[in-house]
Structure 1
């Protein structure tokens, strides 16, 4: 067996071969795609909409070209589409075909057409030219990527000079009491919710575990800086349950 095949990574709390992870994550999202929006509302008690609105307020303007990476069911794409207008463009990219199809159908039903393109893409090897986008967002997707450093470098490459990356992701609560409540919710309530609503406790157990294995705020900031991002900052939302990281390419 070659070294490439024996390299290990995390799949939630399990350890798996790196070359297995992408297909295992794909299975989770094939499984949850149809109920993803309902579960997001249930899981976050609707607060995910506020988190996303905060992200949207971070600088998109008419004429901008935006990449909504791991864009899933298109919440951010719909909002960016209106902000960038007919002279702009939004690319909704996701590695998972099931999620892309749900997103495409949802956006068509909302009347979001014209300036939106759909691309199946792996964040680690983005199929775009250097210096293409004014803004890249990745909301609740980075923790599912196998090689996060490689993905961040790929995002840096396709950003224009002056462009910004916005990473919205579950992070580390800043208070001990909140961590305890959050753990109880994530590992007891969430899988049961997944069982009741999506008939899929296992996928939601993985989602909870993947949140715990994701780098904390300062670690992710350092990872962004290591691939070249500058003026990198983060803003804790809901007591650090979620953080919005922002970095610029100059």
Structure 2
């Protein structure tokens, strides 16, 4: 979802997409798709990209913006835990940025996605994963906006009986990947710089979800309280361009 900036060198070290078939897990607004396109243009690579998301609402704008950047661009609505439209041992590189925690909102579904990644990767194929660190694994005072925003989003999701993101600790993710057969696993933790406007837009979207369905809570004070918390946090960051968030990258081979 978010654009990788501070750990860009580690992410791309030893990676070539020239003549390769690449799967992007989680299209969203196309931020990672933009990043891949930039690398392709800078290196003169010819790359085929399949970009997958459960939400197709941004596909048209992504295709309009980037279709000429790729040798072939396919945007596909699907769940990453079921990629039956992609053949076994056919993909060279999988790039999954800030998406597994979304898949993991349903218990064990991230494991199913990782199994699918392993299935479709060619022997020797590369898997690149970037994820936010779980909120309980860091000192929240070091990431005040990120921490407050994440807690409000999750709380609203619970109140509305909506599934919410479940961040995965990197050690746990490494263990699962190793169990599934991935090898040469490398990890780097870092402080990421997040675009404040995009992050605030997602927060405001959750607030609108709460307001539109406030009757089913049957507690006007609870609804107003969360709306107030959200609006204060949005207001506090309306003039900010970016904020920090703890994240990590895991790279592995099949």
Whether these two folds match at TM > 0.5 is yes
Structure 1 runs (4+) greater than 4 angstroms displaced: 172-176, 189-192
Report the counterpart of residue 65 of structure 2 in structure 1: 106
Q: TM-score, normalised by structure 1?
A: 0.63
Report the counterpart of residue 85 of structure 1 in structure 2: 45
1:164 aligns with 2:117: no
88-97 vs 145-154, greater mean Cα deviation: 88-97
1:118 aligns with 2:71: no
What's the CA shift string for 1:59-100, capped at 9, x where partnerless?
Answer: 1242122111113312233135435723x3122222210132
Query: How do 1:191-210 and structure 2 match up within 5 A?
Result: none
For 2:92 and 2:15, the matched residues in 1 are separated by 10
For 1:70 and 1:143, the matched residues in 2 are separated by 11
* Structure 1 residue corresponding to 2:113, chosen from 126, 142, 151: 151
What 5-or-longer segments of structure 2 have no aligned partner? 193-244
What 5-or-longer segments of structure 1 have no aligned partner? 1-35, 41-46, 195-200
* Structure with greater proportional helix content: 1
For 2:16 and 2:48, the matched residues in 1 are separated by 11
50-59 vs 114-123, greater mean Cα deviation: 50-59
From the superposition, tell whether residues 156 and 137 of structure 1 become closer, same or farther in structure 2 (CA, over 3 Å).
same
Report the counterpart of residue 237 of structure 1 in structure 2: 190
For 1:48 and 1:248, the matched residues in 2 are separated by 21
Whether the 8 Å contact between 1:137 and 1:166 is mirrored in structure 2 is yes
RMSD: 3.4
Q: TM-score, normalised by structure 2?
A: 0.62
Ranked by relative contact order (alpha carbons within 8 Å, sequence separation 6 or more), the top structure is 2
For 1:60 and 1:180, the matched residues in 2 are separated by 38
1:132 aligns with 2:90: yes
Whether the 8 Å contact between 2:98 and 2:132 is mirrored in structure 1 is yes
1:218 aligns with 2:223: no
Report the counterpart of residue 181 of structure 1 in structure 2: 142
Which has the larger Rg? Answer: 2
Report the counterpart of residue 10 of structure 1 in structure 2: none
**Structure 2 counterpart SS, 1:165:** strand
Query: How do 1:55-94 and structure 2 match up within 5 A?
Result: 55-72=11-28, 73=30, 74-82=33-41, 83=43, 85-86=45-46, 88-94=47-53
Q: CA deviation at 1:238?
A: 1.5
